[in-house]
Structure 1
């Protein structure tokens, strides 16, 4: 079973599937994506030297059939499509379901929906063509994955029975190293969140496999949260102090740091601090990227 949900930049959404009034009849471009091969050639060289490759943007054409009760109803449904797939809007989200797989991709309309002449089905059926353009060619999981290292686990529950030696309200579950498995097809960025329960000096996240690291040169105090985003073209370092979020790039003073990426497969990550490591909670959020569905 195939189903498509598109949510535009204004939050308006529409579903295209097996049921009316918008029936999905055909969708292309969810698999193949063109690669741009980078190479160089020296004088008198046979062939070329391969340097690498990049993926091109993705186009997704969608064919639908609009079902209506009469001509006026068809006109209303056509107008809804024009509003949602407005090319003047910013990028929206295309959620594509195929079998048990559900993934999304950012997309924008290349042109307003096209409505060919409906022939003898003028009053009850109308064909439509939607052409989407995806600057980022990768599909992603709809739900972000969250991994925790050392956190506090609650142990207080009801029914409650008091005993003479007392009860445990909670306990710290330490884990200096966490293995994050990136099940996607390509490396991906992540969001790293350092939370200070008390004073913690210069928190750090270290990739055991690649020996790369990201370090923050700051003495964090209780309640402070520093969030590091390492996605391509979206690299940020932000400080949340008493609910006020500010730019924290000034705390990046080590020129050897790397905005860590998650390689395909296993990634061993270790957190540390110069002082107060037991006062840190570290969580990692990431979304695997796929070549198609």
Structure 2
């Protein structure tokens, strides 16, 4: 099992790596709660009907329990363990197997000491994951419409003029979700290169849509403005970015070179939920094929559109 590595990082960026085959400085003895998933199934009974009626189900929180050992520098390593797993705080666990990594966020429940004497001493760490799904480490970007540069060096300027760029647009994009998980949030980025009225994105399979602006409450985007729709559970909002340059946005990238839209929203965003069409929903990806389309009441050709998502997994 030497191909498995567990990396836990606190919200203060204190990190520990656990492996099966070495003390680094802790040796991984056991890890529970990472495989599979459980759900709460709600049913109702009727006195005149056999069996029960299915009402719905929700995934249970995940409890990950890690058992580790140390064989030297006991006081120093204890303090490192407490700094990495402070109670009432959060962190992120990466599970890496055969070079493939998935991550999950957690709240620290407990750090319990086992043996207090002897060369090898053990600790048990309990982590609660209120969002029970493992996820990829970085977002995937799907570009639906954008401007592509045609300008390059060495440059020449013929009499008939030169095309500096062209627009590429796919009104329909399919996203395949083969993880088995439903209700995966997305971040939709609308950027206007001219006047745009009431932009919207649609999920074909469900028939649901999210639209900013509607009859009697129109929303007009001006050139250079961004509308961001976040459909992640707990983060469902629509935002406006006004007066923010692409260069400023590009300054906020994660360790994998992908724009950190949470940071961008926090720094520059203004909530515009009052413009959301009440007939719409915050669309999310479901298990299987997800067909997304976009439109606007006016100015669709002035839209640049990207969708960011991160697939959720039922286990590792």
TM value normalised by structure 1: 0.90
CA contact (8 A) 1:154 1:171 kept: yes
1:248 and 2:272 correspond: yes
Q: What does residue range 53-202 of structure 1 map to in structure 2 within 5 Å?
A: 53-68=57-72, 73-89=73-89, 91-119=90-118, 121=119, 125-158=120-153, 160=154, 162=156, 164=158, 167-187=162-182, 188-202=184-198
State the partner residue of 1:234: 235
Deviation of 1:44 (Å): 4.3
CA distance in 1, matches of 2:201, 2:91: 33
Instruction: Give 3-state SS (helix, strand or coil) of 2:301's partner.
Output: helix
CA distance in 2, matches of 1:156, 1:65: 59
CA distance in 2, matches of 1:82, 1:127: 14
| Residue number among 286, 289, 314 corresponding to 1:266 in the alignment | 289
Cα RMSD (Å): 1.8
Task: Give deviations 1:117-143, integer Å, cap 9, x for gaps.
Answer: 342x1xxx4322111111111111111
CA contact (8 A) 1:146 1:284 kept: yes
1:22 and 2:26 correspond: yes
Long gaps (5+) in structure 1? none
Long gaps (5+) in structure 2? 214-218, 245-267
CA distance in 1, matches of 2:121, 2:238: 50
Task: Give deviations 1:199-246, integer Å, cap 9, x for gaps.
Answer: 111111122222221111111001111111111222111111113421
Aligned length: 282
CA distance in 2, matches of 1:27, 1:63: 6
CA contact (8 A) 1:205 1:269 kept: yes
CA contact (8 A) 1:82 1:113 kept: no
Task: Give deviations 1:252-281, integer Å, cap 9, x for gaps.
Answer: 1x2211110111121111111111111101
State the partner residue of 1:290: 313
Instruction: Give 3-state SS (helix, strand or coil) of 1:110's partner.
Output: strand
Q: What does residue range 28-43 of structure 1 map to in structure 2 within 5 Å?
A: 28-43=32-47
Deviation of 1:166 (Å): 5.2
Task: Give deviations 1:60-113, integer Å, cap 9, x for gaps.
Answer: 111112243xxxx22101111011111132x21111112243111111221134
Instruction: Give 3-state SS (helix, strand or coil) of 1:31's partner.
Output: coil
CA contact (8 A) 2:111 2:123 kept: no
CA distance in 1, matches of 2:220, 2:71: 62
CA contact (8 A) 1:118 1:127 kept: no
Which has the higher mean CA deviation after the structures are superposed, 166-175 or 32-41? 166-175
Task: Give deviations 1:127-184, integer Å, cap 9, x for gaps.
Answer: 22111111111111111111111111123334x2536455543221111111122232
CA distance in 1, matches of 2:150, 2:230: 32
State the partner residue of 2:299: 276
CA distance in 2, matches of 1:155, 1:184: 38
CA distance in 2, matches of 1:87, 1:33: 24
Instruction: Give 3-state SS (helix, strand or coil) of 2:231's partner.
Output: strand
CA distance in 2, matches of 1:117, 1:33: 34
Instruction: Give 3-state SS (helix, strand or coil) of 1:52's partner.
Output: strand
